[in-house]
Chains A and B, each alone.
Chain A
């Protein structure tokens, strides 16, 4: 392995030629005295599945919260395309084409699975409330289209027969899949997945892996936080490893897996 973060320079070159969807430049965030993210720099290219891994407490979820607008960075820049999105509120970040799921599922429990996904299309709908109030066909057609789109997305995650069930009545794995469908409903340019397969059985994990590849093939970049090493190695084009809020490795999965710094971070320093 090269000294220093392997493959960093080639990664930046690739990101630039593709036009990086997301670029973090020396991002910092502390809570009190804890430096959760301490100078993270990496980029996610268009159509790429980018894994973000690291031991517990490495700052992965903090980083997702920074990118999705739930936290403002203490320092550094978070670029979405050309726009510095650091510190924007979540709904404005969403309008820039970022969508996410949550580590502890956050569906709308009293809405049906289909309505959950319809809410996900909020930003894509244009009809006015006046049109809805007056029963105009424009509003009605848009509504029907939104419901059909929601059913298509549910079919895509294998839940076409659960569309009418309340989210609270779905199994854990089903809820995770509805959350992915809801996140896709906004047609995002960047999809942030926070441990999407936690608590899933191997068959479901396989289905999610296929889905992630399809999403990326259709042009949406995916930033994936995941503990399932096999899934990560299988679906990611690129991996970034965080340790105590710092990027300790960044590159192709196979190279990162052999990186001594990564092995040390996960297994403890043998020396």
Chain B
């Protein structure tokens, strides 16, 4: 018991980041689930983080209200963004949403009220690790109930063949917008929880690199099932920590090795498991089913 407590003390921040990154990965998953590559997540996380930090520091709102605002505000921003941008397809949608994220980041850098590039510091630590995992559990529950339902199947139909989905009477634009809004809300929540965990927010934390990480979590974990991105986030958050322990023993700097291993993991997954780690158990089931059939 004692050992467990020390372990938790030591790795509390890592455990928190597994949860935070899982939330961010799920925010990419929501739009991927209907086949849309939207990469505005870092921008939505920044909006959530800054809005929550300001509400805590300058307005003194109670934390639950702050979190609610960090969910609602990015979701509201996603509506006018999504209406025009979701008419774009594939890589054009990705570029437009990346541009949105950059606009948010540069806006913050040039906004003196929030101390520009230096960011806001001295945010009281109000996020408990349990809150992160409660949020994650709720998100997974809702996404799990969505799967296989009328709406979940509609999303899959849109991903598989959009014109065919439209002839089934599925209002495709509305579904895409709903998922963009849901993803924005998740990213905003993750941003707020992180801001109140690390005492500070700075625009450098919400750059292009951030959204690439979010996407890589979802790709490595697999975006065909809702727990795939969580798996990817956990693996890629824990791996650097393990490397930090291992690297000195083999006489390497942990920093560069971390980039290398991340790159190799991504490459291996894309080459051998294009549907991500989550496809491993599904694959086994498919093989058994084929065996039973024949």
Contacts and interface: CB of A to CB of B under 8 A. Distances in A.
A254 interface: no
A122 B150 contact: yes
A120 B153 contact: no
B156 A122 contact: no
B167 A94 contact: yes
A31 interface: no
A125 B152 CA distance: 13
B99 interface: no
Interface in A117-173: 118-120, 122-123, 125, 127, 129, 132-133, 139, 143, 146, 164
Contact of A120 (B146, B161, B168, B171): B168
Nearest to A139: B149
A197 interface: no
B149 A132 contact: yes
Contacts of B146: 129
Contacts of B161: 106-109
Given A107-B161, A133-B145, A127 B150 contact: yes
Given A70-B163, A94-B166, 16 more contacts: A69-B166, A89-B166, A90-B166, A91-B166, A91-B168, A91-B170, A94-B169, A106-B164, A115-B153, A122-B168, A122-B169, A123-B169, A132-B145, A132-B150, A133-B142, A143-B149
B165 interface: yes
A90 B161 CA distance: 14
Interface string B126-157: 00000000000000001001100111011011
Interface string B164-189: 11111111100000000000000000
Closest 5 CB pairs of A and B: A94-B169, A108-B160, A123-B169, A90-B166, A106-B164
A220 interface: no
Contacts of A68: 167
Contacts of B149: 129, 132, 139, 143
B273 to A, nearest CB: 16
Contacts of A186: 168-169
A119 B165 contact: yes
B164 A108 contact: yes
Interface centre among A100, A106, A146, A183 (most CB of B within 10 A): A106
A69 B166 CA distance: 10
A31 B83 CA distance: 28
A139 B142 CA distance: 15
Nearest to B290: A169
A107 B161 CA distance: 7
A115 B165 CA distance: 12
Interface string A43-84: 000000000000000000000000011100000000000000
Residue in A107, A119, A132 with the greatest tally of chain B CB atoms within 10 Å:
A119
A119 B164 CA distance: 10
B145 A119 contact: no
A107 B153 contact: no
A186 B165 CA distance: 12
Interface string A180-192: 0011001000000
Interface string A90-104: 110011000110100
B166 to A, nearest CB: 4
A123 B150 contact: no
27 contacts: A69-B166, A90-B163, A90-B167, A94-B169, A95-B169, A99-B167, A102-B163, A106-B161, A106-B164, A107-B161, A108-B156, A109-B161, A110-B156, A115-B153, A119-B157, A119-B168, A122-B154, A122-B168, A122-B170, A132-B145, A133-B145, A139-B149, A143-B149, A146-B150, A164-B289, A182-B168, A186-B168
Chain A CB within 10 Å, residue with most, of B149, B150, B154: B150
A104 to B, nearest CB: 11
A126 B101 CA distance: 37
Contacts of A99: 167
Contacts of B145: 129, 132-133
Contacts of A164: 289
A265 interface: no
Given A111-B153, A115-B153, A133-B145, A123 B168 contact: yes
Contacts of A95: 169
A36 B49 CA distance: 54
A182 B170 CA distance: 14
A186 B154 CA distance: 14
Contacts of A133: 142, 145
A99 B165 CA distance: 11
Nearest to B172: A91
Contacts of A107: 160-161, 164
A97 B154 CA distance: 18
Contact of B153 (A70, A118, A139): A118
A92 B213 CA distance: 39
A129 B161 CA distance: 23
A75 B64 CA distance: 57
Nearest to B162: A106
B160 A91 contact: no
A115 B289 CA distance: 17
Contact of A125 (B150, B156, B171): B150
